[in-house]
Structure 1
């Protein structure tokens, strides 16, 4: 991702409805798990690493590009710069890997998943979020260096392999999908931008409602997957 987009993300991360709700989703996924060592791939502004630390995990932030590593360092994170398809970690050395909005940026996503399997301890977890539905492909994806958008079938094929148990796959941002689809048709670049506080609150209210509605199997904008190493 270009430096300007990384900076935009970092500036928006604290209050933007999208990132606030995703931190909530991560925290919810961690409840009931015994804290250990967690690898946060694509740490950037450090929002997910902060959630991990607040919930008792030893977080290892990892970033590939210099802009993301610089932002993480500015926020006090001891970040590792490395390619996710060649992780600089020992076999079976972490209890959890978080990869939110990462796999779509990596040409060798299969190699990355194999590396995650290698570094995870038995019964360790792999939490994944990816943009979904190729029909939503737009200039936004180009601007933020996406290589693909996944479907349930392609993400299942990537994650459901010998040595992994695919525990769940759910859709997110279902209620706002029609709005996103319409906006993306007119998109001429990244959608990362500061919103009017009232608009931000309205969108946050809508996406928060998804927590309580039976919509997780309907088409959305993002797919979340929870995988366990057996």
Structure 2
């Protein structure tokens, strides 16, 4: 992905209709799962972290991102634990 795109995404994803609409749909789907309040939620490839706040309403959020540009943007949101990693072999979280 173009490195400039991560900053553009971070600037837009809290207000642009596409991101808001997608997050609304995801929230409804996840809400229908009847997860326990202590659920662990992993977002693999969290980009600049636009979904972290929504996901945190459903449990404890753990997220990973491989981009050295997007990772600090997601971490700066201060939601959950966000670490460097990628699927399938670089998952930074052990069995919790």
TM-score (norm 1): 0.37
Q: Are residue 42 (structure 1) and residue 45 (structure 2) matched?
A: yes
Q: Secondary structure at the match of 1:45?
A: coil
- Which structure dedicates a bigger proportion of its chain to helix? 1
In structure 2, the partner of 1:63 is 65
- Structure 1 stretches of 4+ moved >6 Å: none
Give 5+ residue unaligned stretches, structure 1: 94-230
**Paired residue for 2:92?**
88
Larger radius of gyration: 1
Give the alignment partner of residue 56 of structure 2, picking from 53, 56, 59: 53
Partners in 2 of 1:31 and 1:83 — Cα distance? 26
Corresponding residue for residue 82 of structure 2? 79
* Greater strand proportion: 1
User: What TM-score comes out, normalization by structure 2 length?
Assistant: 0.82
Give a deviation string over 1:45-100, Cα, whole Å, max 9, x none: 22212111123x10001101101101112222431101222123446x5xxxxxxx
Secondary structure at the counterpart of residue 47 of structure 1? coil
Count of residue pairs brought into register by the alignment: 91
Q: Which residue of 2 aligns with 1:23?
A: 23
Structure 2 unmatched ranges of 5 or more: none
